[in-house]
Amino acid sequence: MSKLLTSTPAADGFAMPAEWAPHTGTWMIWPERPDNWRLGGKPAQAAYAAVATAIAETEPLTMGVSPAQYQNARRVLPPHIRVVEIANNDSWIRDSGPTFVLDGKGGVCGVDWIFNAWGGLEGGLYFPWDQDELVAQKVLEIERVDRYKAPLVLEGGSIHVDGEGTLLTTEECLLNPNRNPSLTKEEIEKQLQAHLGIRHTIWLERGVYNDETSGHVDNIACFARPGLVLLSWTDDISDPQYERSKDCFDRLSKAKDAKGRSLEVVKLHQPGPLFETAEEAAGVDHVEGSQPREPGLRLAASYVNFYIANGAIIMPLLDPKRDGAAAEILAKAFPDRKVKGIDAREILLGGGNIHCITQQQPAGR
């Protein structure tokens, strides 16, 4: 059974570990909604299956899937991937799933944030999101992990931690009035401290240009280890991404982490720029109120949106001219892990990438 706990993780001695801490497994949700994924989700399902299969080489992988897609996902995915029925509105478990926290004594709990589809009725990406809102609770119930319900609208893709007390996030997302309009920046920081056990927040201003999540940090910057940050970058000063990445670089260069260290910032040159083709846009169902997909749309492409699995880095392949250099930087940043590239354009077309579709369950006892 999974109990609902009424205190906070920090008060009970729990904190969110870094993504590179050992996992007992990874969670994903199977894509299918035709107003987000082209051609009824079939190309995205192939990409998700490739990501899941790569992760499952190094740790157990569970795929949540709607009742309608259960048999299809079960047939497509290899038998060692666990497939469980979890109703959902879309397939971004980084955002709808729980954030697991550890107490360092073997205990594991989960934080269940409020989810409002990246902005609710003020710029959110679809309505309703009632099934996504239940995903975290269902995952924790399946795992018999106790749950804290956080009184904060938050998606997991909007935070990164170094596991030593530092959190990285963006003002564009966390201070967006369509998330927690009644809370000040200081009050939001207090909630992050209470629910993630962090002591210090580094605020970047904005995320990737045209990112439909309101600038999630997991698409622009991440820790590779304490003191080392990877930043999505472009050298092209005429690209609207330039100012955004430059501002992040300046802030990170001046920042100190929770332990008082300065940060080393490594630039990871972005793919492209990449744009949606007319053929790709034509494959997406038009539904009033959902995110429109137009030909020529600038895609929020970034190599920072990779996943750290046990023993492997699962990185998106997005641009043959840039993939190799990105893979080399990742290999250097993670010398103990094998870098595995997955063709990820179909995931990008849905509005995110590999980090956004995965959720780690860190190892407790």
Choose, by CB under 6 A, the member of 27, 30, 92, 129 that binds ligand KQY. Answer: 92
Window contacting ligand KQY (CB under 6 A); options: 234-242, 260-268, 279-287, 347-355: 347-355
Q: Site map for ligand KQY, 148-177, x if CB under 6 A?
A: ---------x--------------------
Taking CB under 6 A as the rule, does residue 132 contact ligand KQY? Answer: no
Q: Is residue 49 helix, strand or coil?
A: helix
How many positions of this chain bind ligand KQY (CB under 6 A)? 14
Quick check: 63 and 71 in contact, CB under 8 A? no
Min dist. Cβ of residue 301 to ligand KQY (A): 12
* Of residues 219 and 234, the one with the C-beta less far from ligand KQY: 219
Q: Are strands 166-170 and 61-65 parallel, antiparallel or unpaired?
A: unpaired
Alpha helix (H) residue ranges in 170-277: 171-174, 185-196, 240-254
Segment contacting ligand KQY (CB under 6 A): 75-83, 105-113, 211-219, 331-339? 211-219
Nearer to ligand KQY, 43 or 157 (CB): 157
222 is catalytic: no
Distance between CA 101 and CA 99 in Å, rounded?
Answer: 7
How many residues in the chain?
Answer: 365
3-class SS at 202? strand
Tokens matching residue 48: 């998700």
Question: Using CA atoms, how far apart are residues 178 and 26, in angstroms rounded to an integer?
Answer: 29
The site map against ligand KQY for 289-308 (x = CB under 6 A) is: --x-----------------
DSSP symbols for 293-345: --TTPBP---TT--EEETTEEEEEE--TTTHHHHHHHHHHH-TTSEEEEEE-H
Structure tokens at 317: 């392949």
User: Does residue 334 touch ligand KQY according to CB under 6 A?
Assistant: no
Cα 173 to Cα 95: distance, rounded to the nearest angstrom: 13
For residue 23, state whether it binds ligand KQY (rule: CB under 6 A).
Answer: no
Stretch that binds ligand KQY, among 187-195, 209-217, 318-326, 332-340 (CB under 6 A): 209-217
Contact indicator for 231, 249 with CB cutoff of 8 Å: yes
- Options 98, 163, 316, 350; binder of ligand KQY; rule CB under 6 A: 350
125 binds ligand KQY (CB under 6 A): yes
Q: Compute the least distance from the CB of residue 293 to ligand KQY, in Å.
A: 9
Residue 26 or 291 with smaller CB distance to ligand KQY: 291
Q: Residue 10 or residue 86: which is nearer to ligand KQY going by CB? A: 86
In this chain, which of 2, 8, 26, 36 binds ligand KQY, going by CB under 6 A? 36
Query: With CB under 6 A as the contact rule, which of the stretches 17-25, 131-139, 196-204, 210-218 interacts with ligand KQY?
Result: 210-218
**Helical segments of 103-184, H only:** 135-143, 171-174
DSSP state of 263: P
Q: For residue 212, state whether it binds ligand KQY (rule: CB under 6 A).
A: yes
Of 2-10, 87-95, 133-141, 308-316, which part binds ligand KQY (CB under 6 A)?
A: 87-95
Q: Could you tell me where the DSSP H helices lie in the chain?
A: 42-56, 70-76, 93-96, 135-143, 171-174, 185-196, 240-254, 278-282, 323-333, 345-349
Sole binder of ligand KQY in the list 94, 206, 340, 345 (CB under 6 A): 94
Q: CA nearest 291: which of 364, 358, 351, 221?
A: 351
Give me the residues that bind ligand KQY (CB under 6 A), please. Answer: 36, 92, 94-95, 125, 157, 212-213, 216, 291, 350-352, 356
Catalytic amino acids? 356
